Structure 1
Amino acid sequence: MLTALAATALAYLVALPVGLTAALTHVRRLEELLMRPLDVLLAVPSLLLILLVASVFSPGATGLALLVAMVNVPDAARIVRARRARPPPVPRSRRCACRARPGGASPWATSAGPPCAPSPPTPESG
C-alpha cells in the first residue's frame, strides 16, 4: 500500500510541473519538447515495461515505486495539461450554430438553414 502511494505521489510530483508548463506555455516547440517523450513512453505497454524491467533488475520496494511512477507520469501529465489548457476559440462563423444546438436544432438545420444574426463582439474578438 505504501509503495502504491509513493508511486502515485512521485508520478504527480513530476507530472504536475511538466503538464502545467506544457499547458501554459505559448511556445509550441517547448510544448512539443515536453510532451513528445511522454507520448513515446505512452506507446509502450506499461505492464509489459514494468514486468520486463522488474525481471531484469529485480528492484526492491523503492525501485518498484520508481518504476510504476515512471510509467504513470505520461498519463498524469496529459491529464494535467488537458485540464489546464484552454479550448480553441470557436470561429465567428460557427458561434450561432454552437448556440442553436443546445436549443434542440439539428446539425442539418444549423448548417443548411437560414443564416442567423451575427454574434455580438466579445472582448477577445474585439
Structure 2
Amino acid sequence: MSSVLLDEMYPPDLARQLRDAGHDVVAVLDIEVGLASKTDEDVLAWAARNNRSVVTENVADFLRLAHQGFSHAGLILVTSRRYPRTRSGLHRLGKALEDFLSAGNSPGRDGIVWLPDV
C-alpha cells in the first residue's frame, strides 16, 4: 500500500476522505503532522523519512528539488487546470487519487508521475 502526503494546497478533509476509503494519506495541514508553513525542502524531507509520496501542484519547486538531488519517496504531480481547488475539482482529485492508490500505483523511490485524469 502506498503512503501519501498531500501538500499544503489540499485540505485535511481530502486526506480524511481517502483514509476513510482505506488509504494511508495525511495532509501537510493535518495538525498532528506539524508541517504547516514549512518549506518545500522540509516537506520533502519529512515525506522521505516517513516513506510517503508527495501529492502536489507545486510542480516547479518540487521538480527543482528532485533535480537538485533531494531524495524522496516519490512525487505525484497534479495540475490545477485539470483538478482546480474548487468543490468539484477536489472531488475529482479525490476520485483520481483513490483510483490511483486502489490500483496499487506508486511513483516509487525518487520516482515522478503525473496523476492521470478520471
> What's the TM-score, normalizing by structure 2?
0.24
Which structure carries more helix by proportion? 1
Larger Cα Rg: Structure 1 or Structure 2?
1
Which structure carries more strand by proportion? 2
